[in-house]
Amino acid sequence: MISVMTLSAVSLLGLISILHVYWACGGRLGVGAVIPSKAGEYKPAFVPGKMGTLSVAILILAVCFILLVQGGYMDYFIANTITRIGCIISAFVFFLRAIGDFRYVGFFKKIKHSVFAKYDSWFYSPLCLYFGITCAILLF
């Protein structure tokens, strides 16, 4: 069960990282559904920069690496204090993302009628909760 969770989380995070690299390189596919918009407007709440988007992609790849090490899938790297701390931080960040900012993102958002909000409620936030649970389980 744990191996299925680990490998599925790593696979999904890898795909999400590739998507972020695509967006950082100028790709536009799906952008309207992944950036929160202000209440009653189709204008995005913020415009992410290329370097910020690429940084997110790199951080997500780092989480993939941490999960693989903590799960025992990397022969050359052994789980240690650094990977445990990375797993704790990752779990914390994913849980925070799932809870949200109480305005645009997360389970407790106030703006619920945008395209992003619908995807966030049914896909993004549950997925972040799943990633957080996977990180937390690998700590034990």
Structural domain span for residue 53: 2-137
Alpha-carbon gap, residue 10 to 66, rounded angstroms: 9
Q: How many domains does the chain have?
A: 1
Residue 70, phi then psi, degrees to nearest 5: -65, -35
Alpha-carbon gap, residue 50 to 64, rounded angstroms: 21
Bigger pLDDT: 125 or 113? 125
pLDDT, tens only, 60-104: 999 999 999 999 999 899 999 999 999 999 999 999 999 999 999
Distances (CA, A) of 69 to 7, 28, 87, 108, 132: 11, 33, 10, 33, 16
pLDDT, tens only, 20-62: 999 999 999 999 899 998 877 778 888 999 999 999 999 999 9
User: Is residue 129 within 8 Å of 96, Cβ to Cβ?
Assistant: no
**pTM greater than 0.85 (yes/no):** yes
